[in-house]
Amino acid sequence: MSLLILFVLFQASWFATVWGGAQGSSLWALVATVVVFALLARRYPLRGLLTRAGIGVLCGLVLDGTMVALGLTSFPPFGGQTLPLWILCLWANFAAVLPYMVPWLAGRRSLAVVFGAAGGPLAYFSAAQLGAIEVASLIGYSAVGLAWALAMAVLPLEERQGEAKPTLGSEVAGG
């Protein structure tokens, strides 16, 4: 699966998941998660995908759960203080596809942390514009940046031995 296809797949699943969350539903998140995993499992070992997804869900429970508990973020369509299923699906999808979508982060943990610190707040800002989440001003966005920097410090950036990994110009990447 090419890097471009993986990127488009993740972005489409992100949008469907967040849009559904803004509507107060996790159904789109579940559909997007099933589609992502069905497509990924055709090319990559399901066990590795599920392991990374589990780590992603744990990150989401701890990091987003903490931010909600501290009042730094909320999910208004779900009563504000509830951690909805859609955000956990998003964490699962991101963690599962991460080593394949951005293989250049493998072995570059410091770069991944910077990537998370910058990308996390941008994603949450976009989700806030769609109405799926509220972030408490600059302090909230700073917490999101810190949370995502921590997430990128612990999420697996490399596939386990024996898993296919797309690289630029490789057959797996479609190049």
pLDDT in tens, 4-14: 888 899 999 99
**Residue 159 included in any domain:** no
Q: Give the tens place of pLDDT for each residue, 140-168.
A: 999 999 999 999 999 888 765 444 544 44
Total-model pTM: 0.86
* Number of domains, the chain: 1
**Residue 173 included in any domain:** no
Q: Which of 100, 142, 139, 102 is nearest to 120 (CA)?
A: 142
- Give the Cα separation of 66 and 68 in Å (integer): 5
What's the pLDDT score for residue 174? 45
**Residue 26 included in any domain:** yes
What are the distances in angstroms from CA 160 to CA 64, 135, 148, 169? 27, 35, 22, 21
For residue 133, give its domain range: 3-154
What's the pLDDT score for residue 104? 82
**Residue 168 included in any domain:** no
